[in-house]
Amino acid sequence: MTAAAHLASQNPQPGKQAAAVPLRQLVQVTTRQHQAALLWAAGVAAVLAIALAATGIQVHELAARSGPNWYGLTRASVDYGGVLRAFALILQLAVLLAGMFIGAPLLPREIDSGTTKLAWTQAASRSRWLLAQVLTLASLLTLAALAIGAEFGWWLSPFPHSTGLSPPWPPWSPWWQLRFNLNPLLLAGWVVFAFTFGVFLGAAIRRTLPAMAATLVGYGAVLFEVSASWRMHYLAPLHRAVAVQFQAGGNYGSSFTWGSRLPVIMSQGLGWPDGRLLSAAEQQRPAAWMRLHHIVMWFTYQPSSRYHTFQAIELGWLLAASALLVAAAIVMVRRRPA
């Protein structure tokens, strides 16, 4: 649709509250204004999609030919575990780039070039203008993330569905730090967060390069903290005591299984039946003492069944944080001069 379709009618009467510019129009403003950047982003996404498709077909063929342990049998050809790591890193980087190159410059670029003085003196209010820009770009990024995330899931599907035990995980573990957030929904959540984080820093700093640098550092720090530690504390871990057979000489063994779904074990140690762990000195006691006091092995762990809950929790706080960041950016844009 062109602007010709909404031909002007009357000048507004003085004193009357002006009607708001329809959001649909402002979405068109955004797509028209960022056409070139969007084409670039689409190009990057397309290259990624093609690379995933090309290697994914090989992975699927190999798996079909060589059976369930295919990835261990390919010593002579390509190391697909390595390819998997590379793709995971590239996807993480792409999310960061969306924040740095689409989010962070959104406002500073306009302030630099003076075009805020054009955009903010038209009928559309600053808040609606910014909201439309953010919603439009975030929606397009979400679509791209969902598509790439789904394709990556397909790419991974021939790898073993190993669950977990403790880190370091193999790259095909769904708990692997660099893979956990690459499932389609969570990938979209992280892209939206990176983008809105960039928009927020752009509104706060108002200069393009510093805003991009701050996005790089800030987003990197958040991603690292979340992946390395926060994520495993979304819900309080469970504890489980396991009987231990103590033998003379300090050896002990245990015969139990976690079943088919291995949990993520956060820590383990010998302890009293009531849950207290042994001190360093007590751990040196002889087997007879251990047996006498019914010492057991305590596991602190997150059950595998919480995987999807954790995904949902992470998606939830990412979206809430994104909404807050956008709200803060709008407040700053309303309060501060053009």
Partner 1 sequence: MNVIECRGLAKRYRRAWALRDCGLVIPEGHVVALVGPNGAGKTTLLNLAAGLFRPTAGDITVLGGQQPGSGAARVGIGFVSQDAPLYGHLRAGDMLALAGNLNITWSHERALARLADLRVPVDRKVRALSGGQRAQLALTIALAKRPRLLILDEPLARLDPLARHEFMASLMAEVAEEGLSVVFSSHVVAELERIADYLIVLNEGRLQLAGVVEDLLAVHRVLTGPENENALDAQRIAVVHTRKAGAQTHLLVRNSAPGAPAPEGWQSDPASLEDLVLGYLRDPDARMLPGPAMAASAGGPAVTP
Interaction site with partner 1 (CB under 8 A):
2-4, 6-12, 14-21, 25-26, 28-29, 32-33, 36, 113-115, 117-125, 129, 337-338
CB of 119 to partner 1, least distance (A): 7
Q: List CB contacts of 162: < 8 A, sequence separation 6 or more.
A: 170, 172, 173, 262
CB of 66 to partner 1, least distance (A): 51
CB of 196 to partner 1, least distance (A): 23
Q: List CB contacts of 189: < 8 A, sequence separation 6 or more.
A: 181, 314, 315, 318, 319
- Using DSSP's 3-state secondary structure scheme, residue 137 falls into helix
Q: Hey, what are 229's tokens?
A: 């530690």
Closest by Cα among 208, 200, 152 to 324? 200
CB atoms within 10 A of CB 105: 21
CB of 303 to partner 1, least distance (A): 52
- Of 110 and 314, CB closest to partner 1: 110
Are 316 and 309 in contact, with CB atoms under 8 Å apart? no
* Main-chain phi, psi angles of 188, to 5 degrees: -60, -40
CB of 210 to partner 1, least distance (A): 19
| Rounded-to-integer distance, Cα 175 and Cα 306, Å | 11
DSSP β-ladder status, 296-302 and 264-271: antiparallel
- Of 85 and 126, CB closest to partner 1: 126
- Of 32 and 75, CB closest to partner 1: 32
- Using DSSP's 3-state secondary structure scheme, residue 277 falls into strand
Burial class (CB in 10 A: 0-12, 13-18, 19+), 145: buried
- Of 15 and 168, CB closest to partner 1: 15
DSSP β-ladder status, 252-253 and 238-243: unpaired
- Of 124 and 185, CB closest to partner 1: 124
Using the structure block, give the residue that is written with the tokens 């990556």: 152
CB of 108 to partner 1, least distance (A): 14
CB of 133 to partner 1, least distance (A): 12
Closest by Cα among 241, 253, 242, 240 to 303? 240
- Of 7 and 280, CB closest to partner 1: 7
- Of 132 and 262, CB closest to partner 1: 132
- Of 39 and 323, CB closest to partner 1: 39
**Helix, strand, coil percent content, the chain, rounded in steps of 5:** 60, 10, 30
- Of 43 and 220, CB closest to partner 1: 43
CB of 134 to partner 1, least distance (A): 16
CB of 109 to partner 1, least distance (A): 10
